[in-house]
Chain A
Amino acid sequence: MIMADSSNGAPGTSVTVATPGRELDEFENPGLPPHRPRLADRDRRAEKRAERQVALLFFISVLGTLLFFAGYFFVPLDQSVERLRLQNLMLGLGTAFSMLGIGVGIVHWAKTLMPDHEVTESRHEIRPERDRQDAEKIVNDVLDESGIKRRPLIRNTLLGAALLAPLPAIAIFRDLGPLPGNSLKQTMWDTGVRLTRDPSGTPIRASDVTIGSAFHVIPEGLNEIENKLEEKAKAVVLLMRLDPEELNPSPGRENWGYDGIVAYSKICTHVGCPVALYEQQTHHLLCPCHQSTFDLEQECKVIFGPAARPLPQLPIEVDDEGYLVASSDFQEPVGPSFWERG
């Protein structure tokens, strides 16, 4: 609507309501308001004052740089966090003053002492239409001379070649990693592997696990193997003892625990965070990442949050020496779901 003509940029034209035609239903652009001089434009003393303020700001910057060097050279680090904090503070404040002094100084200079008359410049067409016509002609001529439209054999073979040619660039990334194979479906747990404390690796007797207690568990021998973190990412287990009355094992899982001691995978079935929080009173396990909540009394069924599957249970028993051992590996893959999980 306000597509006014270029003359509207000129200052001094006032609102007229009676001009005929289009102007009747829109206001005319009154042009730039008159320039208002700043204090420093009118008063020599204000000008001098502004000049001194700018110089003072630049001087503050010098002090800031000195503060940086004071922190760098005269605060030796001595293994205490307090010293490090002090040095960081001095380096940071030094840099801050050094930069702000220059920055605020320059902006103050620009705002008080440099000319503040607004200037009008006219816009031009982004590209003249003539250029567009020329470009169209050139492209058409180039296409014509190349003969790509007239020679479909050339066009189609080129198309085929160009489609195939990038494929090696994708295929060459094949060796970024091995194929998954069965690795996500099995863990270090196996018949007779002892349950040991995380991270020390000391084995756990059934008698150590009192009612209400919880243990973070890794398989025996984990700390000694090569790919420790990868195995640990699948094998970590939470061990808890409840009153056997409170557990409700489903048919076939009655002997997966031992006298109220049960072991569940610690890896959340949502996206794989460790389910590290155990609410002793309610027997709920809570994942601190996305708050999936699992109920121990219902075989770790999901009772809240984004996980969809119960935590897999590790069948356990007690060996001759009274230590807790796994009866087998998990009966299903642990951790987040994946396409091939089935």
Chain B
Amino acid sequence: MSSSTATQSYVPKTRVGKVTDYVDSRVGGSGIIKEFGRKIFPDHWTFMFGEVALYTFIILLLTGTFLTFFYDPSMAETHYEGSYLPLRGVEMSVAYASSLDISFDIRGGLFMRQIHHWAALLFAASVAVHMLRVFFTGAFRRPREFNWVVGCTLVILSLAAGFTGYSLPDDLLSGNGLRIIDGVMKALPVVGTYLSFFLFGGEFPGTMIIGRLYVLHILLIPAVILLMIGVHLFMVVLHKHAQFPGPGRTNTNVVGYPVGPVYAAKAGGFFFIVFGVLAAIAAAFTINPIWNYGPYDPSPVSAGTQPDWYIGWVDGALRLMPGTIGNFDFEFMIPFPWGVNALSLNVLVPALVPATIVFALMFTWPWIEAWVTKDKREHHLLNRPRNAPTRTAVGVAGVVFYCVLWAAASSDLIATHFLVSLNDVTYWLRFLVFFGPVIAFMVTRRIALALQRKDREIALHGRETGRIVRLPHGEFIEVHEPVDDYKRYKLVSFDSPEVMVPTADANGKVSLLDKVHGRASRFFFEDRVAPVTPKELAASHGDHHDEIAGAKDRESIASH
């Protein structure tokens, strides 16, 4: 074979050389090292959120595997005989009893449960924050649209993983959560009752649901998440990481640290830091003390309960929707030839509409924005959020919408903690869920534009030093310190698209789509702050010379 001649001509001398030669001549691998060993990754603290998500997922796999060795997903009746005295002899499901055993009779079991639950909360949080980073910096633009969609899918999967796991201990709290899911499912027209019976294996709660959620939680969902993470990272390698604009950084290069040794050390070390922080939280802060809740029973319920944070917004929406307004009933009784059917919009609207709006906008945003900007270029330089005021405002409006619904999931706790009327809290939140995003949009856009103006000011005239100087002819001025080329470049290097006015075709007509596009373009870019140009900078320096008397004095002060 030709390879045998190749191995003969190269005789490795170092130990590393001998190992790589042995491996590479059998299964290959030197190519991978050549590709990744010195690959450049740009550095920015906001790029760590995705890393946190990946690392918490690994921690979830590790701790979760430990828990599966002791957890038993059976809903068979048993009497608790473990170490926790207050529940001794109480009738409960095997699933709940084994969860108690993990907490009280397996050394380190409670720690593993706590770290697993905290890691799940952090996983969902870091996925969400990572997604916000990608959104606000415009990293979803061409060529990364597909990876954005993969990311959106991962958000949904992380919610699914969290929810299926939340119910497994089969305690009172999670059981009531399942009952809410059952209620929402039954509200679905035509198929709802059947879906509920198929999921629960009969009437709620049945004896099947925990085992079924368990399979979803430990097999199906993690497998799909792993697959999606693989695709996600493959595309990151393919595209090379995007970078913030700045001196030396262009759309055609990557500036940063090589994987070996710096980036690998930082990223690898960061895994241990995430693990350590989670361990510290799990050591000191109790999460989900299932022994306080007791086994699931359809009759009792505890007040002031909330779901895990990532499901909170849907629960909040359920709380905000009124069942009736005046005499208008949101539950419709629809007469059909075969009888009357019930359509519960008071349940369906809050359970489905907000989530549908948020996820539909999320999945399609790269194409919506590309349609408005008509921008088909590749983008490897990120936006500073202030330099895309409308996008940033849309994002903040979405965050506010989400947060109002999330706050609504705590409406009763807000009322009891701040000694205000529960009904008033609900009325205010109903108002805010509609107007909060609008207010947030307007305020954010103004702030972004103001920050852009400030950047212009600094680029043109330098930083305010706070030093007030009296000139010989009596005028007081504040000394501005000019910024250097590198800092200025950071402030002036951004795109500022202008409004695109629809043009008429040969017949002098403007098509409806073009009109809509013109409107959208105006909505996005009507208010804009253009980056400083070299001409403007030169002119601003020129000013000093032909202005009022004393310009010379100023120059001499400023140059000190």
Number of interface residues, chain B, beta carbon within 8 A: 132
Q: How far is the CA of A183 from the CA of B202 in the complex (A)?
A: 9
B:331-384 near A, CB below 8 Å? 331, 333, 339-344, 346-347, 350, 377, 380-381
Evaluate contact between A273 and B176: CB separation under 8 angstroms.
Answer: yes
Evaluate contact between A91 and B283: CB separation under 8 angstroms.
Answer: yes
Evaluate contact between A289 and B180: CB separation under 8 angstroms.
Answer: yes
Q: How far is the CA of A296 from the CA of B189 in the complex (A)?
A: 30
Evaluate contact between B380 and A123: CB separation under 8 angstroms.
Answer: yes
Evaluate contact between A176 and B199: CB separation under 8 angstroms.
Answer: yes
Q: How far is the CA of A120 from the CA of B247 in the complex (A)?
A: 12
B164 contacts A by Cβ under 8 Å: no
B residues in contact with A107, CB < 8 Å: 265-266, 269-270, 273
Q: Which of A84, A97, A115, A342 contacts B333 (CB 8 A)?
A: A342
Q: Which of B111, B258, B270, B297 contacts A91 (CB 8 A)?
A: B111
A residues in contact with B261, CB < 8 Å: 110, 114
Evaluate contact between A102 and B283: CB separation under 8 angstroms.
Answer: no
B422 contacts A by Cβ under 8 Å: yes
Evaluate contact between A271 and B318: CB separation under 8 angstroms.
Answer: yes
Evaluate contact between B279 and A114: CB separation under 8 angstroms.
Answer: no
B1 contacts A by Cβ under 8 Å: no
A:57-107 near B, CB below 8 Å? 72, 77, 79, 81, 84, 87-93, 95-107
Evaluate contact between B346 and A307: CB separation under 8 angstroms.
Answer: yes
Q: How far is the CA of A122 from the CA of B179 in the complex (A)?
A: 56
B:227-256 near A, CB below 8 Å? 238-240, 245, 247-256
Task: List the B residue with the shortest CB-CB distance to A61.
Answer: B272
- From residue A281, how far is it (CB to closest CB) to chain B in Å? 15
Evaluate contact between B318 and A306: CB separation under 8 angstroms.
Answer: yes
Evaluate contact between A308 and B344: CB separation under 8 angstroms.
Answer: yes
A residues in contact with B493, CB < 8 Å: 1-2, 26-27, 29
- From residue B481, how far is it (CB to closest CB) to chain A in Å? 17
Evaluate contact between A306 and B342: CB separation under 8 angstroms.
Answer: no
Evaluate contact between A92 and B319: CB separation under 8 angstroms.
Answer: no
Evaluate contact between A25 and B83: CB separation under 8 angstroms.
Answer: no
Evaluate contact between A305 and B299: CB separation under 8 angstroms.
Answer: no
Evaluate contact between B303 and A308: CB separation under 8 angstroms.
Answer: no
B residues in contact with A290, CB < 8 Å: 315, 318-319
Q: Which of B104, B245, B255, B303 contacts A119 (CB 8 A)?
A: B255
Evaluate contact between A291 and B422: CB separation under 8 angstroms.
Answer: yes
Evaluate contact between A230 and B205: CB separation under 8 angstroms.
Answer: yes
Task: List the A residue with the shortest CB-CB distance to B273.
Answer: A103
Q: Which of A97, A109, A272 contacts B179 (CB 8 A)?
A: A272
B206 contacts A by Cβ under 8 Å: yes
Known: A270-B323, A271-B184, A342-B340. A309 touches B331 (CB 8 A): yes
B489 contacts A by Cβ under 8 Å: yes
Q: How far is the CA of A306 from the CA of B257 in the complex (A)?
A: 55
Evaluate contact between B323 and A305: CB separation under 8 angstroms.
Answer: yes
- Please encode chain B, from 11 to 52, with 1 for each CB lying within 8 Å of some chain A CB and 0 for all others: 000000000000000000000000000011000000000000
B:410-428 near A, CB below 8 Å? 411-412, 422-423, 426
A residues in contact with B299, CB < 8 Å: 198-199, 216, 218, 232, 236, 266, 274
Known: A102-B269, A288-B303, A336-B183. A32 touches B255 (CB 8 A): yes
- From residue A170, how far is it (CB to closest CB) to chain B in Å? 11
Evaluate contact between B104 and A77: CB separation under 8 angstroms.
Answer: yes
Question: Which of B107, B377, B531 has most chain A Cβ within 10 Å?
Answer: B107
Evaluate contact between B252 and A6: CB separation under 8 angstroms.
Answer: yes
Known: A103-B270, A199-B299, A302-B323. A29 touches B255 (CB 8 A): no
A:110-129 near B, CB below 8 Å? 110-111, 114-116, 118-123, 126
A residues in contact with B269, CB < 8 Å: 102-107, 109-110
Q: How far is the CA of A266 from the CA of B269 in the complex (A)?
A: 54
B284 contacts A by Cβ under 8 Å: yes
B residues in contact with A110, CB < 8 Å: 261-262, 265-266, 269
B residues in contact with A11, CB < 8 Å: 248
B residues in contact with A236, CB < 8 Å: 298-299
Evaluate contact between A33 and B248: CB separation under 8 angstroms.
Answer: yes
- Please encode chain B, from 151 to 195, with 1 for each CB lying within 8 Å of some chain A CB and 0 for all others: 000000000000000000000000010011011101111111110
Known: A100-B272, A272-B179. A14 touches B324 (CB 8 A): no
B268 contacts A by Cβ under 8 Å: yes
A:17-47 near B, CB below 8 Å? 17, 23-27, 29-33
Task: List the B residue with the shortest CB-CB distance to A9.
Answer: B253
A168 contacts B by Cβ under 8 Å: no
Known: A114-B265, A270-B346. A6 touches B272 (CB 8 A): no
Known: A15-B488, A96-B283, A232-B298. A339 touches B538 (CB 8 A): no
Q: Which of A8, A31, A111, A176 contacts B198 (CB 8 A)?
A: A176
A residues in contact with B343, CB < 8 Å: 339
A residues in contact with B103, CB < 8 Å: 84
A residues in contact with B180, CB < 8 Å: 271-273, 289
Q: Which of B239, B247, B300 contacts A29 (CB 8 A)?
A: B247
- Please encode chain B, from 257 to 290, with 1 for each CB lying within 8 Å of some chain A CB and 0 for all others: 1100110011011111111110110111000000
Evaluate contact between A336 and B262: CB separation under 8 angstroms.
Answer: no
A residues in contact with B238, CB < 8 Å: 126
Evaluate contact between A2 and B183: CB separation under 8 angstroms.
Answer: no
B residues in contact with A302, CB < 8 Å: 323-324
Known: A24-B533, A99-B279. A30 touches B485 (CB 8 A): yes
- From residue B342, how far is it (CB to closest CB) to chain A in Å? 4
Q: How far is the CA of A8 from the CA of B319 in the complex (A)?
A: 56
Task: List the A residue with the shortest CB-CB distance to B299.
Answer: A236
Known: A31-B248, A103-B275, A276-B300. A1 touches B203 (CB 8 A): no
Q: Which of B179, B283, B315, B492 contacts A92 (CB 8 A)?
A: B283
Known: A9-B250, A306-B319, A308-B323. A106 touches B331 (CB 8 A): no
- From residue B532, how far is it (CB to closest CB) to chain A in Å? 8
A residues in contact with B254, CB < 8 Å: 120-123
B68 contacts A by Cβ under 8 Å: no
B residues in contact with A337, CB < 8 Å: 186-187, 331, 342, 344, 347
A residues in contact with B202, CB < 8 Å: 177-178, 230
Task: List the A residue with the shortest CB-CB distance to B282.
Answer: A92
B residues in contact with A306, CB < 8 Å: 318-323, 346-347, 350
B residues in contact with A3, CB < 8 Å: 251, 377
Evaluate contact between B183 and A96: CB separation under 8 angstroms.
Answer: no
- From residue B323, how far is it (CB to closest CB) to chain A in Å? 4
Q: How far is the CA of A338 from the CA of B204 in the complex (A)?
A: 13
B residues in contact with A227, CB < 8 Å: 203
Task: List the B residue with the shortest CB-CB distance to A127.
Answer: B238
A169 contacts B by Cβ under 8 Å: no
A184 contacts B by Cβ under 8 Å: yes
A residues in contact with B304, CB < 8 Å: 288
A residues in contact with B323, CB < 8 Å: 270, 292, 302, 305-309
| A/B interface sample: 11 pairs, CB < 8 A | A11-B248, A101-B276, A104-B269, A233-B205, A236-B298, A273-B176, A288-B305, A306-B321, A307-B323, A308-B324, A336-B182
List of 6 A-B pairs having minimum Cβ-Cβ separation, nearest first: A92-B283, A271-B183, A103-B272, A106-B269, A32-B248, A100-B276
Given contacts A305-B426, A337-B186, A337-B344, 20 further A-B pairs with CB under 8 A are A4-B250, A6-B253, A9-B255, A29-B489, A30-B247, A30-B489, A32-B247, A33-B247, A84-B110, A93-B284, A105-B269, A109-B269, A119-B255, A121-B39, A121-B255, A229-B296, A229-B298, A271-B318, A272-B179, A291-B319
